[in-house]
């Protein structure tokens, strides 16, 4: 059965659904680009909007039951959701830690019993689907995420709404990729526009959501193919959501009155950007430190979110602002009177307290988003700057709203590596389009700080489109990483000296029947390559007695002799058919081209087929963690005594899966998957562990 259609429905119904899906997939395969994305964008947008509505209603009911009924506490709400001031204190303070802990326990039971992949903030899972397999999101995980997140946030856990809504719409995009058998590229776009349109709908920010479709997948690049479908899908989802729950911006029009007419204010916005960049880094590192510690601690994963919830509840007794999403407190921070009424110590401490609360709520295994908390953390970073500067500094705006809004943009826009998308989203959420001009300096500085560190709050993001393409090729042809360039390279037919005359070089290449050749200096070191088509054109108009160095291409690609075929494929630019192989001294060791790469891969496939043929049908498959004191640590796999009857299938290192190649050096903590006879496997287990 195909994914989520494997339900306990009558066989005739299932067959009918499959028939409709098959016919629709066939039509989409023949449809034009416009027809295809009008249909897919409309459907995904409708589901994203309805999913956001369902989650908002579920979250509202959960908050009323857990925090208001059981805890006796009503949190404030933002302008777009009523603008209620909430309670000034707790009527039953003893109940708050118990309620937040209960929410964590229920969330843990639901997640780790039904769909463990729904653990955490959810957006990373959707990004991973875009980069790895757009068909991988189970609808069960989507439903579990919705319920568990509503309970976590509704009971007071510090988390945001975007994780569940992104996973709902991204999960539906994944469902379409499976049932309609979309091409891989279309499947990736469907999941990407699902992420952006879901987040854009729940925050009432369609333009920012559309830009997020293409920005959130990479750290330093855009998935441009997702932008135009994202525009259409995002406005559909926003329209559906707004038609049911209203179109007012989440924080009203708090930033609409601001006008940038004082250049000195740029200094204060720059200060916000610098602080927001470092606060964002602290957020990411604290969150993932908590995740790492939680995974290493003994005990059931079901209990850990409950413990985190109790700790959050205890912290909330002193700082109630950390409970739930915190958007109501951001609304109060946008108002001068409300912000001045808050104690200064609270405003200064709140960004750190929210980081700790979010890490304890989600990093321990709870369910919810981290986008929303990131906005709250940034908002009170800006609010803190305003409170400190307002009595003493010149040119500070009368209202804190510009500082609060820019703080949101800079903090999360930087640490999520999506600065432009978050700038637009926050501007739409606050009606603060006029703040965009001075916000650019803050967001730019914050992004530079985060980019220099190499960090991101979304660990599933890849660096850019080139890395994504290389990763997809590596997954599709995993044996490329197990074959060395040295094993397939060929001797170059011709190596030229840069002192050779151009005409003589052209004659030599013509005699050797090569389209190009590597060029070396007087010490034999590689300095570039020349190509017959370039030389023939130049020789028609110029004299051939000029030295070859004038015509060489110094940017010609090379690959190290110790590299793998995966590296060679990655190094081959468009239009090139061969690479020069060099050693550490830049000496030419050979040539590797498309022919050698294909031959090496086919040989590796044949070897693997023969190896698997030696393993009997009753062989076992086991995972072994490489121990800290293992003699295998630091040694290449080929240097370890692995019996012939054992096949190293793969090596899991962190979030990366490496091929079981002889050249892979083992690290402590690697999880090695082995296939073979039981007695041989026990021998290898003892060696590795």
pLDDT of res. 277: 96
pLDDT of res. 176: 86
- Cβ(70)–Cβ(259) below 8 Å: no
**Both 497 and 453 in a single domain?**
no
pTM for the model stands at 0.75
Mean pLDDT for the chain overall: 85
**Both 84 and 209 in a single domain?**
yes
pLDDT of res. 1: 32
pLDDT band at 7 (very low <50, low <70, confident <90, very high): very low
**Both 12 and 72 in a single domain?**
no
3-state SS assignment for residue 625: strand
Q: Would you say residue 2 has pLDDT above 50?
A: no
**Both 65 and 159 in a single domain?**
yes
The residue that leads in pLDDT, 105 or 604, is: 105
pLDDT of res. 509: 86
Q: Would you say residue 220 has pLDDT above 70?
A: yes
**Both 38 and 19 in a single domain?**
no
pLDDT of res. 616: 56
Which residue has 């409170």 as its token pair? 387
How far is 468 from 134, CA to CA, in rounded Å?
13
Q: Would you say residue 573 has pLDDT above 70?
A: no
- Cβ(375)–Cβ(283) below 8 Å: no
How confident is the model over 472-489, as a mean pLDDT? 72
Q: Would you say residue 620 has pLDDT above 80?
A: no
Q: Would you say residue 15 has pLDDT above 60?
A: no
In this predicted model, what pLDDT tens digit does every residue of 155-209 receive, in sequence order?
Answer: 999 998 888 888 888 988 888 887 776 777 888 899 999 999 999 999 999 999 9
**Both 492 and 578 in a single domain?**
yes
pLDDT of res. 8: 42
How confident is the model over 442-463, as a mean pLDDT? 92
CATH of the domain at 509: 3.10.580.10
pLDDT of res. 75: 94
**Both 78 and 209 in a single domain?**
yes
Domain boundary residue, one of 550, 565, 598: 598
pLDDT band at 566 (very low <50, low <70, confident <90, very high): confident
Q: Is residue 312 part of a domain?
A: yes
Q: Is residue 240 part of a domain?
A: yes
CB-count burial class (<10 Å; 0-12, 13-18, 19+) for 10: exposed
Domain boundary residue, one of 466, 498, 526: 466
**Both 10 and 67 in a single domain?**
no
CA distances from 77 to 100, 280, 330, 346, 414 (A): 19, 24, 9, 19, 26
- Name the residue among 203, 272, 193, 275 with its Cα closest to residue 234: 193
pLDDT of res. 530: 86
Neighbours of 11 (CB within 10 A): 7
pLDDT of res. 66: 95
**Both 372 and 502 in a single domain?**
no
pLDDT of res. 405: 96
pLDDT of res. 290: 94
CATH of the domain at 681: 3.30.70.1450
- Cβ(194)–Cβ(144) below 8 Å: no
Q: Is residue 251 part of a domain?
A: no
Half-sphere exposure of 114 (CA within 13 A, CB side): 18
pLDDT of res. 554: 74
Q: Is residue 603 part of a domain?
A: no
**Given the DSSP bridges, would you call strands 588-593 and 578-582 parallel, antiparallel or unpaired?**
antiparallel
Q: Is residue 6 part of a domain?
A: yes
In this predicted model, what pLDDT tens digit does every residue of 403-440 receive, in sequence order?
Answer: 999 999 999 999 999 999 999 999 999 998 899 999 99
CATH of the domain at 40: 1.10.3080.10
- Cβ(539)–Cβ(502) below 8 Å: yes
**Comparing 24-33, 208-217, 331-340, 586-595, which segment has the lowest mean pLDDT?**
24-33
**Both 165 and 289 in a single domain?**
no
Q: Is residue 260 part of a domain?
A: no
Domain boundary residue, one of 598, 626, 649: 598
- Percent of the chain at pLDDT > 90 equals 43
**Both 587 and 657 in a single domain?**
no
In this predicted model, what pLDDT tens digit does every residue of 79-90 receive, in sequence order?
Answer: 999 888 988 889
pLDDT band at 5 (very low <50, low <70, confident <90, very high): very low
Domain of 383, in residue numbers: 265-466
- Total domains, the chain: 5
Q: Would you say residue 451 has pLDDT above 70?
A: yes
Q: Would you say residue 258 has pLDDT above 70?
A: yes
pLDDT of res. 574: 63
Q: Which DSSP letter does residue 593 get?
A: E
How confident is the model over 16-41, as a mean pLDDT? 68
Q: Is residue 223 part of a domain?
A: yes
Q: Would you say residue 149 has pLDDT above 80?
A: yes
How far is 311 from 103, CA to CA, in rounded Å?
12
**Both 535 and 437 in a single domain?**
no
How many residues does the structure list for the chain?
Answer: 689
Q: Would you say residue 357 has pLDDT above 70?
A: yes
pLDDT of res. 602: 73
pLDDT of res. 536: 75
Q: Is residue 604 part of a domain?
A: no
**Given the DSSP bridges, would you call strands 558-560 and 526-531 parallel, antiparallel or unpaired?**
unpaired
In this predicted model, what pLDDT tens digit does every residue of 639-661 receive, in sequence order?
Answer: 666 776 677 777 776 645 566 66
Which tokens sit at 83? 């603008």
- Cβ(373)–Cβ(326) below 8 Å: yes
pLDDT of res. 17: 46
């Amino acid at each position: 059965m195909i994914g989520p259609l494997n339900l306990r429905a009558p066989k005739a119904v299932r067959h009918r659904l499959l028939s409709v899906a098959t016919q629709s997939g066939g039509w989409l395969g023949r449809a034009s680009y416009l027809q295809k994305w009008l249909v897919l964008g409309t459907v995904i947008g409708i589901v994203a909007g309805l999913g956001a509505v369902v989650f908002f209603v579920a979250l509202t009911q959960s908050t009323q039951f857990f925090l208001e009924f059981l805890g006796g506490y009503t949190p404030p709400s933002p302008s777009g959701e009523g603008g209620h001031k909430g309670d000034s204190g707790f009527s039953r303070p003893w109940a708050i830690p118990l309620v937040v802990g209960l929410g964590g326990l229920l969330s843990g039971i639901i997640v780790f019993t039904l769909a463990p992949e729904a653990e955490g903030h959810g957006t990373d899972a959707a990004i991973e689907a875009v980069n790895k397999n757009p068909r991988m999101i189970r609808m069960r995980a989507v439903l579990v995420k919705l319920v568990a997140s509503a309970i976590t946030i509704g009971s007071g856990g510090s988390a945001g709404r975007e994780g569940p809504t992104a996973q709902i719409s991204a999960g539906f995009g994944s469902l379409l990729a499976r049932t309609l058998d979309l091409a891989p590229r279309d499947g990736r776009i469907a999941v990407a526009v699902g992420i952006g349109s879901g987040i854009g709908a729940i925050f009432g920010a369609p333009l920012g959501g559309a830009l997020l479709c293409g920005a959130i997948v990479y750290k330093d690049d855009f998935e441009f193919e997702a932008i135009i479908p994202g525009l259409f899908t995002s406005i559909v989802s926003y329209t559906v959501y707004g038609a049911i729950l209203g179109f007012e911006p989440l924080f009203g029009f708090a930033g609409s009155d601001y006008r940038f007419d004082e250049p000195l204010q740029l200094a204060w916005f720059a200060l916000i950007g610098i602080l927001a960049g470092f606060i964002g880094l602290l957020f990411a590192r604290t969150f993932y430190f908590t995740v790492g510690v939680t995974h290493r601690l003994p005990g059931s994963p079901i209990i850990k979110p409950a413990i985190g919830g109790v700790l959050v509840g205890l912290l909330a007794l002193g700082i109630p602002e950390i409970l739930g999403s915190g958007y109501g407190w951001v609304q109060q921070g946008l108002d001068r009177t409300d912000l001045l009424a808050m104690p200064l110590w609270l405003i200064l401490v709140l960004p750190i307290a929210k980081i700790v609360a979010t890490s304890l709520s989600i990093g321990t295994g709870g369910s919810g988003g981290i986008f929303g908390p990131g906005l709250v953390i940034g908002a009170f970073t800006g609010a803190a700057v305003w409170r400190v500067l307002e009595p003493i500094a010149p040119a500070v705006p009368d209202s804190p709203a510009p500082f609060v809004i820019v703080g949101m943009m800079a903090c999360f826009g930087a640490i999520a590596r999506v600065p432009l998308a978050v700038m637009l989203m926050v501007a739409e959420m606050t009606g603060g389009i006029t703040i965009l001009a001075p916000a650019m300096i803050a967001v730019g500085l914050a992004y530079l700080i985060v980019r220099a560190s190499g960090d991101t709050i979304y660990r599933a993001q890849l660096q850019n489109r080139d890395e994504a393409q290389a990763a997809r090729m590596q997954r599709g042809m995993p044996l490329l990483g197990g074959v060395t360039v040295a094993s397939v390279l060929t001797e170059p037919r011709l190596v030229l000296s840069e002192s050779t005359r151009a005409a003589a070089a052209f004659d030599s290449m013509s005699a050797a029947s090569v389209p190009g050749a590597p060029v070396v200096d007087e010490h034999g070191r590689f300095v570039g390559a020349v190509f017959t088509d370039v030389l023939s054109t130049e020789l028609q108009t110029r004299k051939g007695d000029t030295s070859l160095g004038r015509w060489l291409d110094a940017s010609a690609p090379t690959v190290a002799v110790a590299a793998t075929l995966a590296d060679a494929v990655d190094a081959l630019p468009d239009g090139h058919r061969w690479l020069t192989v060099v050693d550490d001294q830049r000496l030419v060791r050979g040539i590797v081209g498309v022919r050698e790469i294909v031959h090496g891969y086919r040989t590796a496939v044949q070897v693997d087929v023969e190896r698997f043929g030696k393993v009997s049908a009753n062989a076992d498959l086991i995972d072994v963690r490489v121990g800290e004191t293992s003699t295998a640590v630091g040694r290449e796999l080929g240097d370890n005594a692995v019996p012939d009857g054992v096949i190293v299938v793969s090596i899991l290192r962190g979030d990366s899966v490496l091929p079981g190649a002889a050249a892979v050096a083992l690290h402590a903590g690697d999880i090695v998957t082995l296939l073979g006879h039981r007695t041989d496997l026990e021998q290898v287990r003892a060696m590795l562990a």
